A and B are shown apart, each in its own frame.
Chain A
């Protein structure tokens, strides 16, 4: 049987301002993930602001995994981060400064 290989859209057309995160996604069956991020509308995020990959034992309490990605600066750009050895739960989180916002499409591409 071929290995599982799944694209999970975990954030679609949601506008992030301030403290924000994708909904918890349980994917402990996967050994690796790429977090793809697109801006669906022209973003207004300083280039110094990054999003953080977070992991969790229970889908409720979160820790930074260490991987960060810079948000795309236009609607044609694709940002991504590679993650492996992440346990059971993944999410993407960020703290945007006052006045910053971005409308996101976030896809987890997962492989076992």
Chain B
């Protein structure tokens, strides 16, 4: 019998497991969510408030709970997930510009490289017998990160990426990022709570070379899953790689939002998926399989 190093053994075990072999994780898997096991910690992103829910920014008040979905269609029944019956579904309200989100909240134990991989698809509500390929405005994801409490010069850092599918009916089809800070404001009188709408429509920039035509398919009720892989280094606050299907994008022109640390968020590692609609029609983002891994 020949000897086998740890990396080869790890790779062999991963390749033998169909649930894992669709991912390409770094050396330690933090979580690998399959929505046949439930929500796996993905929940709605409720806006901050103090004293009254009326203090919540309207952009957050529209958020609602994600769903465990079979992606059912009126004409063809359940599409089901990439693997198994269920996917995580985030659906907007039927109002142009509306958005919705799903969030998972954790913290990091070492400020080093992390990799987020997931399979996703998106569609508008099939309320018309039309292709409707420009009805979904965007789908995307972000990290919400903050330095450890003992780090010098603590920062809150928020890398955002979205696929701008359409805007005002134009089929744009390109990846964008956002580094522009949105104004924050205090909530209530305690001085302890604040809010900012970092997902607001302003300030998005084109990722250089970020044009991409994704498989939308030929009617509004057929979906295809796409693979995404985003590498980020927590020690340098830098994106190091971004892949969608067969395309690897140059991230040298990417920058995350950066701001001074907020008071209660040390070592935060939140992940948010979001979807926006470009028409008065609900838009859905479905995720099936999310794997977060790190080098630690």
Residues of A within 8 A of B (CB): 1, 4, 6, 8-10, 12-13, 23-29, 40, 57-61, 88
Contact = CB atoms under 8 A, between A and B. Distances in A.
Contacts of A28: 70, 72
> Which of A6, A27, A58 counts the most B-chain CB atoms under 10 A from its CB?
A58
A60 B64 contact: no
Contact of A60 (B67, B68, B86, B125): B125
Contact of A4 (B38, B73, B89, B126): B38
Q: How large is the interface on B (under 10, 10 to 19, 20 to 34, 35 or more residues)?
A: 20 to 34
B54 to A, nearest CB: 7
A57 B73 CA distance: 8
A28 B78 CA distance: 11
A29 B87 CA distance: 11
B75 to A, nearest CB: 9
Nearest to B38: A4
Interface of B: 37-39, 44, 46, 53-54, 56, 61, 64-65, 67-70, 72-74, 86, 89, 91, 93, 125-127, 282
Contacts of B39: 6
A13 B127 CA distance: 27
B67 A25 contact: yes
A26 B67 contact: yes
A34 to B, nearest CB: 15
A21 B22 CA distance: 40
A105 B56 CA distance: 15
Judged by DSSP, the binding face of A is: loop
Given A12-B53, A60-B127, A23 B72 contact: no
A87 to B, nearest CB: 10
19 contacts: A8-B65, A8-B67, A9-B44, A9-B46, A9-B64, A12-B46, A13-B56, A23-B93, A24-B91, A25-B65, A26-B69, A26-B89, A29-B68, A58-B74, A58-B126, A59-B72, A60-B74, A60-B127, A88-B72
Given A13-B54, A58-B73, A26 B64 contact: no
A105 to B, nearest CB: 9
Nearest to A30: B68
Nearest to B56: A13
Contacts of B70: 26, 28, 88
A9 B56 CA distance: 16
Contacts of A59: 72, 125
